[in-house]
Structure 1
Amino acid sequence: MPDRIPSAARSGPDPAVILRAENVARRFGGFTAVDVDHLAVRRGEITALIGPNGAGKSTLFNLLTGFDRPDAGRWAFDGHPLAGVPAHKVARMGMVRTFQLTRVLARLTVLENMRIAAPGQLGERLWAAPFSLAWRRGERDNTARARALLSRFLLDGKRDEPAGALSGGQRKLLEMARALMAEPRMVMLDEPMAGVNPALKQSLLGHIVSLRDDGVSVLFVEHDMDMVHEISDHVVVMAQGRVIAEGTAREVTQDERVVSAYLGERFGDDLVETGPTPGGGSGGR
């Protein structure tokens, strides 16, 4: 079994850490899908979560965001324990996620998809129904913010079209823009580049970096190692449900455990021969 992260890597409460998980386990019958001894995502950084298919990355996402419940463990967002907190309340707390398979409301327009993600809408509350001036003002503000985000993600021209008419790459952009409508402090992206054509891939990369520049913490699952090298500040590697290594992109891709479990010997040799030099810009800002 892969070695666990040394206990020295684990410490007490750290204000620099926005998401912390300890001893989180999820089993399906006799199969252990997740057995994470320790995970810490630092505030204001881009953290990549990598590993082979079946390593437990998406399952861990589901556990941390309230879409599934673990069999054991504890985890906290910004110091607030999340055990038993449902997914919608996790999002309200400021930790928002996207999915590997995009989820849009196909029959609603792109703009309507954006507006429903805005937090604290008075129009959704029965007691506020008679006070139309208050909730209509909020709707106008939400619409203006949605249009600004759609413009930022180059989707403003699609705002009145059904979301189901968007291409796969455009749906990825919509999901990311919609996540920002919730005013998150942390965004979790599950394979944001899956199924995206090269023309949109660079655009998505830029948007992820801009999230960090705006002070939003990012945790993303990805298989594209070029992307991981280009934008990540920190990389966590999973295999067989466990975290087996972490560090900069260059450090983990030279770790023998990572090469053996995920990257393969040829990748490790090529990286040593042709990889970026220290300070050359990979794995950091």
Structure 2
Amino acid sequence: MTADRTGPGPAPEPGVRKPGALLVLDGVRRCFGGIAAVHVEHLEVQRGTITALIGPNGAGKTTLFNLVSGFDRPDGGRWTFAGRRLDGRSPHRIARSGLVRTFQLTRTLARLTVLENLLLAAPAQRGERLSAALFAPVWRGQERAHRARADELLVRFRLDRLRDEYAGTLSGGQRKLLELARALMARPQMLLLDEPMAGVNPALAQSLLGHITQLRDEGLTVCFVEHDMDVVMGVSDWVAVMAGGRLVAEGPPATIGRNPDVVDAYLGRRHDEPEADGADPRRRKGR
């Protein structure tokens, strides 16, 4: 499974501007105890692509997702989504704008059924307002539409046979599928997926990858955090690399593996350069 990366595109350099950028970050900073966990000067995510966000542990990837999705507050900077500023907004308002995320540790509601988990994520439910709840004709049509959408997603992700089971009984991989289906109930323009393959068996991982590429082909924009380089190289249209909270490289998958800044980020030093003192390179620290 390989994304189509042929043809001209943006220059492979950090902070490059891209045609049709959907999400644009400027000067986004977050510090913990005086240490800059995130300091991204400029980053753009192009509409209709799969962008992988990679980097060593502690690079700031999940923190950046937390900031953009409203689950954490930045110390500075701004970002826009589809031309609208989202910094300072709450998570539910950001989700309503069309930017929806999933988490590395799934957050299903264990004591609700699979179907109920999906229905809970449906946007703008009229029956939630007391004035409308008293008049069934106001919300019954919408409820039928939400149920039809939920059933469609359950079939798509092969969870339909589990629709009436409690979410707490699902396997880890099934919960990943449920969380992705629940995110799609909000009809987002863009998905932020935090390590969607973590803890998933190989067969189910391939299924997830197929769903992600299909969503891209249907026009959805996807940005995901991932450590498995085979996954990154197999499905991504673009790769952004973080290290020490900063964006150190960007480019198509084919060029990222050869980028010396990426090698530095993962290995800690230029592993292909000889030692200045002539020492045996096989004895370098960390080798």
Question: What is the TM-score when the length of structure 1 is the normalising length?
Answer: 0.88
Relative to 1, partners in 2 of residues 1:6 and 1:221: Cα closer, same or farther, differing over 3 Å? closer
Q: How many residues align?
A: 261
Gaps of 5+ in 2: 1-11, 273-287
Aligned residue in 2 for 1:277 = none
- For 2:187 and 2:138, how far apart are their aligned partners in 1? 20
Q: Secondary structure at the match of 1:144?
A: helix
Deviation at 1:29, TM superposition (A): 1.5
Aligned residue in 1 for 2:280 = none
Deviation at 1:262, TM superposition (A): 1.4
2:260–2:270 CA contact under 8 A, matched in 1: no
Q: Secondary structure at the match of 2:197?
A: coil
Aligned residue in 2 for 1:39 = 43
CA offsets, 1:45-81, max 9 Å, x none?
0000000010000000000011111001110001100
1:166 paired with 2:170, answer: yes
Aligned residue in 2 for 1:91 = 95
1:24 paired with 2:58, answer: no
Q: Which segment drifts farther, 190-199 or 118-127?
A: 118-127
| Runs of 4+ that moved beyond 3 A | 263-268
Aligned residue in 2 for 1:130 = 134
- 1:82-121 matches, cutoff 5 A: 82-121=86-125
1:202 paired with 2:223, answer: no
Q: Secondary structure at the match of 2:188?
A: coil
Aligned residue in 2 for 1:225 = 229
Deviation at 1:263, TM superposition (A): 5.8
Match of 1:215 among 216, 219, 234: 219
Gaps of 5+ in 1: 269-285
Aligned residue in 2 for 1:54 = 58
Question: What is the TM-score when the length of structure 2 is the normalising length?
Answer: 0.87
Structure 1 vs Structure 2 CA RMSD: 1.9
2:264–2:270 CA contact under 8 A, matched in 1: no
1:253–1:263 CA contact under 8 A, matched in 2: no
2:114–2:163 CA contact under 8 A, matched in 1: yes
- For 1:139 and 1:216, how far apart are their aligned partners in 2? 25
2:13–2:251 CA contact under 8 A, matched in 1: no
1:19–1:75 CA contact under 8 A, matched in 2: yes
Percent identity over the alignment is 62
Greater Rg over alpha carbons, structure = 2
CA offsets, 1:240-281, max 9 Å, x none?
00000000112111111111211689999xxxxxxxxxxxxx
